[in-house]
Amino acid sequence: MRLRSAAYALILAPVPCSAQVSTGGYLDINFQTAFHQAPPGQDLVAKSYDMKHESLSLTNIDFDASLAAVPGKRPGFSLNLLYGNGTNYQFATEPGGAGKFRNFGQAYITGITKGKNAVTVDFGEFYTFIGYEGIDARNQDNYGRGLLYTLMQPDYHFGFRVSAAVNVKTTATAYVVNGWNEIEDANSRKSFGGTVSTSFNPKLTITLSGYTGAEGSQNPNDAGSFGGLGLAAPGLVKVDMLDLIATYQAKPDLKFAINGDYASVK
What's the 3-state SS for 77-133? EEEEEEECCHHHHHCCCCCCCCCCCCCEEEEEEEEECCCCCCEEEEEEEEECCCCCC
Q: Which of 48, 63, 254 has its CA nearest to residue 131?
A: 48
**Which residues are CB-contacts of 204 (< 8 A; sequence separation ≥ 6)?**
246, 247, 248, 249
Give yes or no for a contact between 63 and 23, defined as CB atoms under 8 angstroms apart: yes
Q: How confident is the model at residue 13 (pLDDT cuts 50, 70, 90)?
A: low
- Residue 36: other Cβ atoms inside 10 A: 8
* 64-125-258-144 Cα dihedral, nearest 10 degrees: -50
Give yes or no for a contact between 164 and 119, defined as CB atoms under 8 angstroms apart: yes
Give yes or no for a contact between 209 and 243, defined as CB atoms under 8 angstroms apart: yes
Mean pLDDT of 156-164: 98
At residue 47, the 3 state secondary structure works out as: coil
Is the pLDDT score of 19 beyond 90?
A: no
* Distance separating alpha carbons of residues 26 and 136, to the nearest angstrom: 9
pLDDT (tens digit per residue) in 40-74:
666 666 677 776 777 788 989 999 999 999 999 99
Is the pLDDT score of 6 beyond 60?
A: no
Q: Please give the DSSP secondary-structure letter assigned to residue 169.
A: S
Mean pLDDT of 215-241: 97
Query: What are the CA-CA distances from residue 200 to residues 170, 205, 206, 245, 255 (Å)?
Result: 9, 6, 8, 13, 16
* Distance separating alpha carbons of residues 47 and 6, to the nearest angstrom: 17
How confident is the model at residue 42, as a pLDDT? 65
Give yes or no for a contact between 166 and 191, defined as CB atoms under 8 angstroms apart: no
